[in-house]
Structure 1
Amino acid sequence: MLTYLQAAVIGAVQGVTELFPISSLGHSVLIAAWVGGDWQKLVSPGESATGTPYLAFVVALHVATAVALIGYYWRTWCDIVTGFVTMMRKGRLDTVAQRMALLIVVATIPVGILGPLLERPLHELFAAPLCASIFLTLNGVVLIVGEGLRRRNEPTLAEYGRRFARQQTRTTVLTIEAPPRRQSDRQLAALDIRDAIGIGFVQTGALITGFSRAGLTMVGGLWRGLENQHAAKFAFLLATPAILGAGLLEIPELAGPETHGIRGPILFGALVSGLSSWLAVRFLERYFQTRTLLPFAIYCIIAGALSIIRFS
């Protein structure tokens, strides 16, 4: 039976680790395995169908995280939705918002296709704590590779200017002037369709327990030449439809008979998850303005290695 304490702890962990590049699903498995007892039973395969509706609980946590992201970036999302409607009506790209809308739609296609097909089979295949430990360690290695890509591809102001100039030849969305070195949707809109598709495919790696959606998407952005703060914002924007879509597909789980008697803890855990997600994205947006992925990489490698030793 899911208690209020378990709901609060798991909700807080989910909200933070979904956006920190350290794998929310991997931590759900590993924390429960380290604690053991009733915590371990919560995430055991098949429990949702035998009395502990953990899947329904996870759905609520994901929806809460998506709502928090929408709330945090509500101005950006209003612009993107308006840009998408205008783009569909006019059939051309005239603004930054329209191009951002196109990039997010294109980048969401890979996980939109592969997610429903592979999410559950991959989770069942790699749900064991040892598997999650190994992939969490590999997630740390991937983050280090991402930092190497950033240093190799880090855009200079002149490179931004050339990128904007190339876009200017195709659309009126961007200006030739190099933008200031700060958080701006103009840098993200400078990505092309191939960049968006590549980042979208990288994001699908998070279907494997232990790999981070935010981490892989950020590495994809760094691979395509973004800086950390721009890659982080694109990762959070791209995660929103993926998380919300996955949650909405499983909404019937929340209304099913399995949740009878524990809807209070589920709602409480969702509120905690939403609040922790809001605080996490607020922290990370500022953190990545001056700092890198390396601390998260080191954490993943150490936590993963200790877990490998523990569960071998």
Structure 2
Amino acid sequence: MVVPSLTYPEAVVIGLLQGVTELFPVSSLGHSVLLPAVIGGSWARDLNLGADQSPYLAFLVAVHVATAAALVWFFRADWVRIVRGLVTSVRDRRIIDADQRLAWLLIVATVPVGLAGLLLEHTVRTTLGKPLPASLFLIINGLLLAGVERLRGRTAQPRTPVPVALAEPGVYVGSTAQAGVSAAHGDVESDRRLAGLGWRQATVIGAAQILALLPGISRSGVTMGAGLLRGLSHEDAARFAFLLATPVIAAAGVLKLPELAGPAGRGVAGPVLVGSVVAGLAAYVSLRFLTRYFETRTLNPFAVYCIVAGLAGFAWFGMN
């Protein structure tokens, strides 16, 4: 019996794949199941989520942590404000500004997927983490994205959250000396709009991430879709999706990271490190692209890709 291992080429390719597909609305888990199966041979053996003694799951945990690190770094200014807002809110026992409210909205919106992940992740992964289900869910993901855009297009006037004022609005509103550059000013304005979401709205958007437990359903895609249906613009929906993804991905990684110290991580430290670096860099570049892309564009191209790729995978694995 050949014991699954992990090579440097496998680590680089899957690290790159994870860094891109985790943030693009096309499902990283679905691609992580499908690509090794398509390549076949040692790739299908080494990169099999259901195989005994396979280091693949532990490797995916590591590259997820690298993706979360890229998210934190990219949105570092936002997270400084959010964490500061949470600390001052707990200290003062009140919620009076946008940073404080956004911090609590993110916490409340993360609870549903956190509980679902603890209860269902292992069962879903071992039962559905196979090429045919992943292909089917990839098709469904594309249909969901297309459906969201179609429904939103029929809405006469999408609702926009009411911006919540900061404790010191003069610091950010109309003050280029304090805001620094227009991009930073835009980021703050976007966070203020997100802070205007209702508690129920934020919970519904966050709960959409539960669907991403299914291989082929994109976390960023379903979260963006829920945000669009709740009245957010594409830019704000993407931003909220990325902020929401950060604690979820990081928490899942931290919970499973000790597995790398056990039998699953034995002898693969080098490939895991290389793959994680590649995933982090790819995630950062993807974020730079997507935050600009969604300022003016929609989910439709990703919907078409998912449907085509899912149909191709379903046909390929259905005949083999």
1:20 partner letter:
F
1:71 partner letter:
W
When the two structures are superposed, what TM-score results if normalisation uses the length of structure 2? 0.88
1:4 partner letter:
Y
- Please say if residues 149 and 222 of structure 1, whose CA atoms lie closer than 8 Å, have aligned partners that are also in contact: no
The alignment covers a number of residue pairs equal to: 301
SS at match of 1:71: helix
Match of 1:10 in 2: 14
1:185 partner letter:
D
Tell me if 1:288 matches 2:308: no
SS at match of 2:304: helix
CA RMSD of aligned residues (A): 2.4
Report deviation, 1:197. Answer: 0.8
Tell me if 1:216 matches 2:222: yes
1:254 partner letter:
L
CA deviation map 1:17-60 (0-9, x unaligned): 0000000000011111111111111232443x42x311110110
1:78 partner letter:
V
- Please say if residues 153 and 223 of structure 1, whose CA atoms lie closer than 8 Å, have aligned partners that are also in contact: no
The 2-side partners of 1:7 and 1:28 are apart by 11
The residue correspondences of 1:61-76 to structure 2 (distance < 5 A) are 61-76=63-78
From 126, 135, 145, the counterpart of 2:137: 135
Report deviation, 1:305. Answer: 0.5
2:22 partner letter:
E
Listed as ranges, the gaps of 5+ residues in structure 2 are 175-181
The 2-side partners of 1:260 and 1:235 are apart by 34
The 1-side partners of 2:217 and 2:26 are apart by 7
The 2-side partners of 1:173 and 1:93 are apart by 14
Match of 2:262 in 1: 256
Listed as ranges, the gaps of 5+ residues in structure 1 are none
- Please say if residues 93 and 173 of structure 1, whose CA atoms lie closer than 8 Å, have aligned partners that are also in contact: no
The 2-side partners of 1:33 and 1:116 are apart by 27
SS at match of 1:150: helix
Match of 2:177 in 1: none
Match of 1:21 in 2: 25
User: Deviating runs (4+, > 6 A) in structure 1?
Assistant: 171-175
CA deviation map 1:240-259 (0-9, x unaligned): 00000000000111111332
The residue correspondences of 1:176-187 to structure 2 (distance < 5 A) are 184-187=190-193
Identity of aligned residues (%): 49
1:3 partner letter:
T
Match of 1:148 in 2: 150
CA deviation map 1:209-250 (0-9, x unaligned): 110000010001001100111000100000000000000000
